[in-house]
Structure 1
Amino acid sequence: MDNANIAYSALALLAATLGTAYTVLVLWSPETIAPKPSEKTYRTPRRPTTRHPLPSIHDPATVDLTVVIPAYNETERLPSMFATTIAHLEAQRTATPSRTYEVLVVDDGSTDGTAELALKLGLDYPASKDDIRVVVLEKNVGKGGAVRHGMLHGRGRRLLMADADGASRFEDLELLWKAMDEISPKEEAAVVVGSRAHLVKTEAVVKRSVLRNILMYGLHTILRMVGVGHIRDTQCGFKLFTRRAAQEIFPYQHLSTWIFDVEVLLLAKQLRMPVAEVAIEWHEVSGSKLHVFADSLQMLRDLLILRANLLLGRWKVHPGPSKGCRVG
């Protein structure tokens, strides 16, 4: 075989390999989740049987803060988290009457009555019964999908995602709030990330399993490679967004799995948003839905899918509020 034929064969093999890789990428890449009619409504503790239409993130803000709580089978952990969350929000509203809020629980297709429990818990807080809203997704889509749904339908000037397990100390919201005041005094697009990086050498992390810590360090190495190495803790479920940031980021979020936080931060980076990282208190809470080994493999695959789609331009973002991409 002469050199020309060898070169042709090599090029043909390369083209076939690239074509196969691109086909796999397309097949593995998730489509943006379209909400079903029932998912565009919410209920309140005061009127638990009445469905009200959800607003859009593109509408003007009507409260100061939206707390988005993604919840999947959280009847065991939600009561404690609810108690600390509402207690702090009410204390702040008493101290600063202008600090209005809503709590938006997004039940991610639970099978244990999480939504009904949230509505019942809301009755324990008479001053907040109209500020607690519960949305039910018809099937489990993943934490990222539940957070995205809440963010796209929040009323807040600022929007906080907070895990239902209560692992993050809710009072540390004030640390994130102060940092947001500093990096976005005029409520421009900005993100403040709660961080557990300062706890790496403390008992809170050291006592976790060896496998979980190995995977944590491996994930951090990969994150530096994909472009978010400037954030020491991408996975903490305690993040604050301005309304403008939510308008620009969440309509373009594709991943609904555990690694969605990385996509959100990469989108913020692409849009040149300021991002601050603030140390918060955190403790391990039993009952995690994370299956360490299997979900770590899923995270690795999704990271590769994310990076490839961004590099190839298949997933794009557009600066400025995405008014042409209304959801729901």
Structure 2
Amino acid sequence: MASAEGLLEALEQLVWLLWDTARKEPLCLFLSLIVPLAVLGVLCIYLVLHLFAPKPRAPFPSEKTYISTNPDGTVSAPRPLSCWYDRWRAEGRLSHEYPTIPAGFPVPDEAVIEPAEVEMSVVIPAYNEEARITVALEEMVEYLDREFGRPNGQSPQQEEQPKPTQRKGKKGKGATHAPHRLVFNPSTAARSPQQETTPGRAGSTPSGYEILIVDDGSRDRTVEVALAFSHQHGLHDILRVIKLVRNRGKGGAVTHGLRHVRGQYAVFADADGASRFSDLGRLTEGCEDVVDGSNRGVAIGSRAHLVGSEAVVKRSAIRNLLMRSFHFILTILTPPATSRIRDTQCGFKLFSRAALPHIVPYMHAEGWIFDIEMLMLAESAPATPVLASDGSVIGTSYGIKVAEVPVGWHEVDGSKMSLVQDSVKMAIGLAVLRASWMLGVYRRRLT
């Protein structure tokens, strides 16, 4: 009984001591309470993010294959996909495991990606798009045939076609397609060992294009419709269909496709054809305008110039309100360069090949918010040297520059986005994404 009374007396004295301290030194008490609580709160958030932040699954073996059409109209057997990502990842791990490599052994550079085989790769994420994908493919193939031609001298439908005309502003070359200009051409002394020793690639210029349709677990006839289009237009082995075993979301499908592109440039475009595909040339020019000394650059289609136009005014008031609210949240939660982008969600974005290793391997978001993670990764990419024409270093350039390019766009019926529900999910996803990168749950590392 006496011990209980003593304990109560000690507790009472402690309370009075805290009260007296609070009256005399309120700031000291405030800090002594708030700082531990803040640290505990951050630790709890970190643990929760570790448990619940999205972590993409590894691809199934069948997802590293593709099918296409044969000239006789049959569907090809699954063929292995070219995958720059796997090779890049293996070389990156090698450089980490063997920091000291014997003399004469080639040292892999984890920022280097294997050379391109075609000039343009188009990635199309598709989920239940049998009713809309044909129109989009018609527009894409018409433009790609005209601007890039088909690889290995193929002609549409294997018929005698007039030789493709040259792009405006190009000289020479005659009937062949001149490549887009390379803004930076390093001297021989400035090139990496991989650029010098890659067999069969030295001095070669990629041409032609490929289309990768990533079927995200569709339940309709999206694959059959795409393959029928391939046969009708003679796109044998140019149009490739990758079938995901389980639905990953638009971001997961785009990321998977970008891991397998063979192009000097890679663009992803929505399967509904909402963005005017002929504006791809404007994206390429925008990318070339911002490319850095390592040929890294990104260009994104933007619909910001359409605000106030009939296409936007016709939308419901709630949709426009949600759009503005999301952009406000985006401005608060994203780093400076990304927050200044007026339209992050347009499904029409182009990357130079050299930019891909700094973005694609570190992607986590697989839902609607993935575009923003791509832009954040571009902004936070490692610095690259700025080189003079003779190959000498004259400075450094931080991050990968992003060009925002106005493109044509129109509303297409059949959207799979639930307006209110997906808007809330995007806001939550953005907060989780930003917190995960800020607290170190997500990092630039090989996993």
What is the TM-score with the length of structure 2 in the denominator?
A: 0.68
Partner of 1:301: 428
Letter in 2 for 1:41: T
Alignment match, 2:64: 40
Asked if 1:17 is matched to 2:41, the reply is: yes
Relative to the length of structure 1, the TM-score reads 0.91
User: Where does structure 2 lack aligned partners over 5 or more consecutive residues?
Assistant: 1-14, 23-28, 85-112, 150-163, 167-175, 178-206, 382-398
* Structure 1 residue 112 displacement after superposition: 0.5
Q: Is the 8 A contact 1:28 1:305 kept in 2?
A: no
Query: Does 90-99 or 39-48 show the bigger shift?
Result: 90-99
Q: Secondary structure at the match of 2:329?
A: helix
Q: How many residues in Structure 1 have an aligned counterpart in Structure 2?
A: 319
SS at match of 2:136: helix
1:69 to 107, 124, 141: 124
Q: Percent identity?
A: 43
Match of 1:321? none
CA distance in 2, matches of 1:15, 1:312: 12
Matched, 1:105 2:213: yes
- What is the alpha-carbon distance in structure 2 between the residues aligned to residue 10 and residue 178 of structure 1? 52
1:151-166 aligned at under 5 Å gives the runs: 151-166=258-273
- State the 1:197 CA deviation: 0.3
How far residue 95 of structure 1 moved from its aligned partner, in angstroms, is 2.6
The amino acid of 1:151's aligned partner reads L
Q: 1:180 aligns with which of 263, 287, 295?
A: 287
Shift of 1:14: 4.1
* Alignment-mate amino acid for residue 35 of structure 1: P
CA shift digits 1:17-65 (9 cap, x unpaired):
3333223222221113311011000011225240111111343210001
- The match for 2:145 is 90
> Could you tell me whether the CA contact under 8 Å between 1:187 and 1:242 is conserved in 2?
no
Give me the whole-angstrom Cα distance separating, in 1, the residues matched to 2:36 and 2:263.
54
Paired position in structure 2 for 1:123 = 231
* Mapped partners of 1:230, 1:204: distance in 2: 23
More moved, 280-289 vs 224-233: 224-233
User: How far has the Cα of 1:296 moved from its partner?
Assistant: 0.9
Counterpart check, 1:235 vs 2:290: no
Aligned mates of 1:186, 1:290 — CA distance in 2? 39
CA contact (8 A) 1:159 1:241 kept: yes
**Where does residue 205 of structure 1 map in the other structure?**
312
2:79 paired residue number: 52
Shifted more, 46-55 versus 61-70: the winner is: 46-55
Q: Retained in 2: the 8 A contact 1:161–1:238?
A: yes
Q: Which moved more, 1:243-252 or 1:25-34?
A: 25-34
Once residues 236 and 308 of structure 2 are traced to their aligned partners in structure 1, the CA distance between those partners, rounded to angstroms, is: 41
Q: Is 1:284 equivalent to 2:411 in the alignment?
A: yes
The RMSD of aligned alpha carbons is 2.0
Q: Deviations over 1:197-221 (max 9, x none)?
A: 0001101111111111111001111
Deviation at residue 177 of structure 1 after TM alignment: 1.4
Unaligned runs of 5+ in 1: 319-323
